Homo-oligomer: A and B are copies of this chain.
Amino acid sequence: MSTDETLPLFLRACFNQPTERTPVWLMRQAGRYMAEYRAIRKDVDFWGLCKSPELCREVTLQPIDAFGMDAAIIFSDLLVPLPPMGAEVTFGKGMGPVIEPRIDTPADVDRLIHPDVPATMGYVADAVRATVAALPADVPLIGFAGAPFTLAGYLIEGQGSKTWMKTKAFLHAHPEAADKLFTLLTDVVIELLNMQIDAGARAVQIFDSWVGALDPEDYRRWGLRYTKRIVDGVRRPGVPVIVFAKGTGTYLDIVAECGADVLGVDWTLPLDRARALVGPNVALQGNLDPGRLLGPWDALEPAIDRLLDSAGDGTGHIFNLGHGIDRTTDPAQVKRLVDHVRTASAKRRG
């Protein structure tokens, strides 16, 4: 593997090139655990924040300024595509999203719209442009979108779910309508991600947050098939594609068939086991349990060290959590974590 030293550290790690230390960023690193974020959110509702490029830039930069992560991720939401497709999304106080009308029958799929992505979601591109202009040159911006299973799950359940049983019932009872729905979502997600790349995103992440509810056979049919199309549909030289299919650690080798440059891994699968499953040619991103940040530093530090040890010589590892930061996390823990990953991983290389 050759190294392109003109590339930022994060991108070199995404392309599985040797690095002088392990890059680190954290899912949901811009969010409620930061007082600076809460200060902005008190004057604007969630959609208002998502739709303001200036405020998105501001909150996206907050953790970079405070903690110095090696990558930023544009502040936005997985559910951005749903309202333009004809499904309103509201966030109640202390509740997850509610989607109306939900998809209950094949006829409901036919009523969904293929939206004009730049016209209806252009605010995401504006936010990317504003943020890229303000970020340090060595901190790439990650664009993102949800994967079809996760988006379809919200559309079919009308909300989040522990079991996604309505979704599974729909897939099994109406496979043709489900394929039509997943194909539409695939096309929209490809456009949404390409728009972000065109606006300056230097990597993209596809979040399939709930696809781990499927068995391996159903994952092939309802996860991998569309994820692979998305990976192919957004591929550009120099822009790595990260696929995070949470909860699929028992069949990460199947997920790897999507062709992503980087696979997200949650904390249930140690990185050495992940590496054994997927081989040497893909980078791995993860995989600390965000729950560990809620404990004291003297328990967190050895957990970080174990994680770095589980990544072999550290090549092709991007340090992250296995899910978003919890809103009750002490920002001081985040600061210590980022600093420790930098110094401890550099020491391991030396």
Contacts and interface: CB of A to CB of B under 8 A. Distances in A.
Interface of A: 160, 162-165, 168-169, 171-173, 212-218, 247-251, 267-270, 273, 289-292, 294-296, 299, 303, 306, 323, 326, 328
A43 to B, nearest CB: 27
Nearest to A165: B326
Given A168-B289, A168-B294, 14 more contacts: A160-B162, A163-B291, A164-B291, A165-B290, A169-B291, A169-B294, A172-B294, A172-B296, A212-B268, A214-B268, A214-B289, A215-B268, A217-B303, A247-B268
Contacts of A306: 217
Given A247-B268, A250-B249, A250-B273, A292 B163 contact: no
A115 to B, nearest CB: 30
Contacts of A215: 267-268, 289, 292
A202 to B, nearest CB: 30
A306 to B, nearest CB: 7
Copies in the complex: 2
Contact of A216 (B247, B268, B291): B268
Which A-B residue pairs are the 8 nearest by beta carbons?
A: A172-B295, A168-B291, A169-B294, A215-B267, A249-B250, A250-B269, A250-B268, A215-B289
A299 B250 contact: no
Contact of A168 (B169, B247, B251, B292): B292
Contact of A289 (B218, B290, B296): B218
Nearest to A171: B295
A67 B289 CA distance: 42
A328 B162 contact: no
19 contacts: A163-B291, A163-B326, A164-B291, A165-B326, A165-B328, A169-B291, A169-B328, A171-B295, A173-B296, A212-B268, A214-B268, A215-B289, A216-B270, A217-B303, A218-B289, A248-B268, A250-B268, A251-B268, A251-B270
Contacts of A249: 249-250
Nearest to A295: B172
- Of A173, A267, A273, chain B has the most CB atoms within 10 Å of the CB of A267
Given A172-B299, A247-B268, A250-B250, A294 B165 contact: yes
